[in-house]
Structure 1
Amino acid sequence: MSPPPSGVAGQLRQLIYYHLDNDLLENALFLAGRLHGLEPRSPDAAHLLALCNLRLGRYKAALDYSKPKGSQGQHLGCAYVFAQACLALEKHVDGAHALERARGFWAARNHWNKHSETSRRHLPDAAACYALLGKLWSAHGDTKKAVDYDIEALKLNPFMWDAFTDLCDIGALVRPLNIFKVTPEMLAALSHSTLNGNGANPFAPCESNMDAKNLSISTPEIDPFNPSIRTGGDIGLNLGGSNLLSKLNGSIPVTNGNGAGSGYHDVETPTSNDQNIRDDDVMMGDIGGPVMNEPGIEPPHAPGRKTRLQPFASAEEPPKMRSITSRTRLKMGSESSESTEIPRPIGQNGHKRTVSGHSTQQANGQSLDPTAAPPRRSVRLLNSISQIRPSSSRLAAATSRDPDSRERRELRKVKATGTKGKAGTVSTVGRVVSGNRKPTVEISESSGKPESRPTSAAAGGAPPLRMAPQTDPGRDQEGLQWLMDLLLKIGTGYAQLSRFQCKEALETFASIPSQHRETPWVLAQIGKAYYERSMYSDAEKVFQRIRDKAPSQMEDMEVFSNVLWQLKKETDLAYLAHTLVDQDRLSPQAWCAIGNAFSLQREHDQAIKCFSRATQLDPKFAYAFTLQGHEHVANEEFDKALYAYRCAISADNRHYNGWYGLGQVFEKMGKYDVAEKHYRAASQINPTNALLAVKIGSVLDRMKKTQLALVQYMHAVTLDPRSNLARFRKAQIHLKLGAASEALKDLEYLKDSAPDDANVHFLLGRTYKKLRDRTNAIRHFTIALNLDPKASQYIKEAMESLEDEEGGVWSSSDER
């Protein structure tokens, strides 16, 4: 097999990006393998192959292909893919060091406001690299470095939302007002992009016309007059040519080899391979140049504008007929005939072709080509008997005219006797070959007027050009400011929720416009805020709205299942678990819902299996470990519970539920001082949780620190005045300290909020006994006996000893 032509690599790159942009990853991977086989030492080829494997989730393969150039920071694309693969494979330090070594390639890049529908950047900028470094160091456990890199990412690009959420999840003190604001640098970039058209062409073909005339766009594969491989001097109908048909193909001629400019600024159409985009926007590494260029091969230069021709000399016979090109150009509204002299490819002059594939043209009107080969005898005979019928395609003057030599001018019509000029063995006289070729216009020599054009699919020619709407700088700035205000509100609510300021977060989310507040993500944050405040009914309503709006939503559904568990709704919880499993049986949220359903039915062993399955699917799913620990506590398997809670903390150090679980286990084991430490650790993470303050007070009470316990209970009531448990514990401490009147205030509130609670009525009876109110004491003891007959022994003893000030102590150590 012959060696591959020079343009194969460029075509492969274009095809790879085409499939990547259309999410045809298997096709992209296959073509990336061909490119890597063609250029095994090219870092660009290695980057594309690694990128395709990364998109497919084949992290080990992506790591292997990107490692040679990426681990040492020699190629930005390889280093970025290598770092992403390291993040997935938990090789965090290696990925971070690779990006640091490549800092020289990305430190000065800033692609904010440089992406559009017609252009994009293939390589990451500084903000993206900083954000990835933050993720790597956060996963490694170096919180300080993670915070520093996330802050740098947000300074460069405040729309790096994941960097902001990572800062909030780490526990950093974030001020959204200083992040989501329009900076002078952003305004300068916005003004610059507005003046330069945002990198897009000011003229763009109408999309509807493009779709309607899709068949009129020729491709090198199907157009025999448009070969895809030409030499540097042959700038014909292929992409990058400078004649009319190349414009119909949707290409812009390359002027300087880097694809930065067009030879004709009045007709600019977007190209399929980004020929009008800068080098750093197209190439994938440290090597400059467009995708289509190959090292060592100079791309063809676009011809310069030709000056107006001088009148013919007296010795030269003038043409017998007027140039069709100039006549047609005048009809199109051209200002001068100078602009019509578009250079034509040698041997392709736009005229019809004969049986042999060569053009037919009058010798008198043709200029000289000194490089043309001598014509064959058969061609000369054929040209002598062929009827000359001019075409409507433009005549051009690609070569210089020589008035002293008429024989050399005649050689122009028989150019392209080699393989480059041949169009095939099938005659194309009198027919339209490809969609981008204009139909033939018959011209009578006597009248000089063109006949009527034939009605064909290609008669319309190129789609009409329209001017892109001019962008208004004031409107862009107004839109940017509105978007910043929206992100400020959402970011403020998220930051407040991450600090467990749930009441403030709910107020902030309520100020968001309704069309954004009713989106699943914002509703999930509102539902979690209600859940943290123990407002389970409100949380259920919010999560149910999520299920109605987005039935396929899986994120945060484990919180919804916990809400239903707290509300003891077995049927709804079972239905939710069944629905989630049907949607995605490999999601940890679905298995958490199943485990909660089994737990509510007191099948703790089955629940443990489900929670274990959830942790297998996602080892970083901290809440599944916590729920598994709760089930072990219910089975009194304290060692296994400790292991589960520690796994939860290892997965997420700020998961306060894991710290709470450890404190609960140590409390049940009688290690009250150790339990207090873990409860306080959880309280530091979530200082607004009233239950944690109650648990701290409980262990202090057991350690005979009654006054300190009373302080904790009072703090818990302050945090959540609706907490019945906090008020009940506070009343118990007041009664133990002899402040029966203070205890009575909280118990009267509990009597109204929990009228069916036997513990409340029993403590009320004891309180009235302390206050020497025998009638009310007997009344509430009787109510308690009716509500809880199992506790009749303790209640009857308290009723029989009404004269005893100490009374019964049945509910002092009971925990709800």
Structure 2
Amino acid sequence: MTKFFLGYTYLELQLNEKALDMYNQLKNLGFEKSNYVHAQIAISYHNKRDVLTAISTFNNLRIIDPYRLDNLDTLSNLLFVKDRKVELADLAQHSYNVDKYRVETCCVLGNYYSLRSEHQKSVISFQKALKLDTQYLAAWTLMGHEFMELKNYHAAIHSYRKAIDVNCRDYRAWYGLGQTYEIIKMPYYCLYYYKQAQMLRPKDSRMLVALGETYEKLDKIKEAFKCFSTARSVGDIDGLALLRMAKLYEQLEYDEEAKLAYVEYTKESEISPAPIDLCLAYRFLAHYHLKMCNLELAREFTHMCLRYEETKEEAKTLIKSIEQRKRQYLGGVYEDTSIQGADSYGPPPALLKQLAAYGIAF
């Protein structure tokens, strides 16, 4: 029984690796067929944001016990995150057929309606769940999200606060409150709630990035840099920390630091399926290299900017500036009477050397 208690406690405290280790020990001690143990393992993967493994574990559990509705609300959250509409619709239909009066069924239906952007119906489903169980944490938190989508911020705040009353260790509710106060432009409230969420999830980069962005809005640049740097060190989940650092360097006109950060960001984005604001990195690098007279690199990054609607028009202007700068250098170098060795077959070696110094390939 001690191991069951420890596993449950680790999971409550978001010590997911320790929880996984404990439940795997229980499997080896003869509980390999325990549905509860398998469900707790799936929840551990969910908390670690290992979404695919968590979905796979839940699906295996459904095969073993198809009429088990426990924890299907968590599975519906995972399917929602991965935008699996067909699977979520199937899960909603199955849950409704098994028992339409279970809180898990109402939650699955709420997520299904939310994925279909039917937010009012989603709210009604979560309200039904709360009529069945007023202490049902997931419904309060998810209903807060739906009120956010409906721009009913007062109701969202009420829902998140009720979730915290049920379980003050629910980081999602604290984070939701932070987002709500960020939207209604109350940064000091926002900062407080993000801090609470970050204390509950100290190694979650999303909390650190949110904190950093709030510090940035409050002109606390040192604290913002610290948050973004820590987010990088714990594993930048969404790839936002490096981008925020680069933008801060750019705003402060620390061009060398901004260049290094943007270059690293572009390299990391090569393996990212959906790079965020990559065009802004290319735009800065194009301007930087033009300023430093590295015209070939400036041209390369400018052509990258042409791929994006946000920077296409500016890129066209940049191309003209690069060509104009190139003509100026060519004209200036040819007028230099100190250059020797010119012949009728092309530029002299000394000229080529000077052009190369400007980043111009002839």
User: Do structure 1's residue 497 and structure 2's residue 16 form an aligned pair?
Assistant: no
Give a deviation string over 1:745-780, Cα, whole Å, max 9, x none: 1331122123x4362244234234324431332232
The one-letter code matched in structure 2 to 1:796 is: E
Q: CA deviation at 1:523?
A: 1.9
Q: CA deviation at 1:639?
A: 0.9
Question: Highest CA radius of gyration, 1 or 2?
Answer: 1
* C-alpha spacing 1:503/1:800, structure 2 compared with 1 (3 Å): farther
Which residue matches 2:275?
Answer: 757
**1:765–1:779 CA contact under 8 A, matched in 2:** no
Q: Matches of 1:568 and 1:687 in 2, distance apart?
A: 27
**2:302–2:315 CA contact under 8 A, matched in 1:** no
Aligned with 1:748 (options 263, 267, 277) = 267
Q: Matches of 2:316 and 2:272 in 1, distance apart?
A: 25
Indicate the SS of the match to 2:143.
Answer: helix
**2:279–2:311 CA contact under 8 A, matched in 1:** no
Which residue matches 1:676?
Answer: 191
Give a deviation string over 1:425-474, Cα, whole Å, max 9, x none: xxxxxxxxxxxxxxxxxxxxxxxxxxxxxxxxxxxxxxxxxxxxxxxxxx
**1:735–1:743 CA contact under 8 A, matched in 2:** no
**1:500–1:687 CA contact under 8 A, matched in 2:** no
* C-alpha spacing 1:581/1:727, structure 2 compared with 1 (3 Å): farther
The one-letter code matched in structure 1 to 2:155 is: K
Indicate the SS of the match to 1:752.
Answer: coil
Which structure 2 residues correspond to residues 58-457 of structure 1 after superposition, within 5 A?
159=1, 180=2
* C-alpha spacing 1:758/1:716, structure 2 compared with 1 (3 Å): closer
Q: Matches of 2:242 and 2:10 in 1, distance apart?
A: 26
Aligned with 2:23 (options 485, 494, 509) = 509
Indicate the SS of the match to 1:662.
Answer: helix
Q: Matches of 1:732 and 1:751 in 2, distance apart?
A: 19
Q: CA deviation at 1:561?
A: 0.4
**2:206–2:237 CA contact under 8 A, matched in 1:** no
Root-mean-square deviation (CA), in Å? Answer: 2.3
Q: Matches of 2:231 and 2:153 in 1, distance apart?
A: 27
* C-alpha spacing 1:604/1:509, structure 2 compared with 1 (3 Å): same
Q: Give TM-score scaled by structure 2 length.
A: 0.78
Which residue matches 1:648?
Answer: 163
Q: CA deviation at 1:795?
A: 4.1
User: Do structure 1's residue 769 and structure 2's residue 284 form an aligned pair?
Assistant: no
Q: Matches of 2:185 and 2:154 in 1, distance apart?
A: 14
Unaligned runs of 5+ in 1: 1-158, 160-179, 181-486, 786-791, 805-816
User: Do structure 1's residue 725 and structure 2's residue 240 form an aligned pair?
Assistant: yes
Q: Matches of 1:726 and 1:533 in 2, distance apart?
A: 19
Unaligned runs of 5+ in 2: 291-296, 323-362
The one-letter code matched in structure 2 to 1:667 is: E
* C-alpha spacing 1:519/1:778, structure 2 compared with 1 (3 Å): farther
Which residue matches 1:59?
Answer: none
**1:765–1:776 CA contact under 8 A, matched in 2:** no
Q: CA deviation at 1:799?
A: 5.1
Which residue matches 1:600?
Answer: 115
* C-alpha spacing 1:520/1:782, structure 2 compared with 1 (3 Å): farther
Aligned with 1:710 (options 225, 235, 246) = 225
Which residue matches 2:317?
Answer: 800
* C-alpha spacing 1:800/1:519, structure 2 compared with 1 (3 Å): farther
Which residue matches 1:782?
Answer: 306
Which residue matches 1:540?
Answer: 55
The one-letter code matched in structure 1 to 2:199 is: Q
Which residue matches 2:68?
Answer: 553
Give a deviation string over 1:289-331, Cα, whole Å, max 9, x none: xxxxxxxxxxxxxxxxxxxxxxxxxxxxxxxxxxxxxxxxxxx
Q: CA deviation at 1:658?
A: 1.2
Indicate the SS of the match to 1:620.
Answer: coil
Indicate the SS of the match to 1:636.
Answer: coil
Give a deviation string over 1:655-677, Cα, whole Å, max 9, x none: 22111111111000110111000
* C-alpha spacing 1:530/1:779, structure 2 compared with 1 (3 Å): farther
